[in-house]
Amino acid sequence: MDRDLEQLRLLSIFHYVLAGIAGLFSLFPSIWIGLGVYMATTGPRQPGLPPPLFGWAMAVLGVALVICGLGFTALVVLAARALQRRRHHTFCVVVGALSCGFFPFGTVLGVFTILVLARPSIRAIFQGDAAVAPAVE
């Protein structure tokens, strides 16, 4: 039982770390936003330069990538809180599976999350069996 609780605690901590890394990397496409706006709004057009529409498309794509990255970061933070409180087992498994796409850190954490949460003793903890210590709030 103590080993299971310790592994859940560690998974929660590592999910917070992954969320920090993912949040940082999700801001990188803001360079595209800046370049796209610059390309769309700078001075007179010359024949060799791309049209302003290309710049706006690049900026919109950058915004979409930032929003998706921050959304993934929010999901990982919510999964970390759920692991800490030992609630929402299925949600934690799904976020673990989604984390596998964030190579290499998310892949390792996602695989370990799925392996730990698949054990019957962990499922019993999430279901709140009487023999289990109270969840950390």
How do the domains of the chain map onto residue ranges? Answer: 2-127
Which one-letter DSSP state was computed for residue 127?
H
Q: Is 50 left (phi over 0), alpha (psi -120 to 50) or beta?
A: beta
* Predicted local confidence at residue 130, as pLDDT: 41
Question: pLDDT > 70: what percent of the chain?
Answer: 92
- In this predicted structure, the answer to whether residue 71 has a pLDDT above a threshold of 90 is yes
Give this prediction's pTM. 0.86
Mean of the per-residue pLDDT values for the chain? Answer: 91
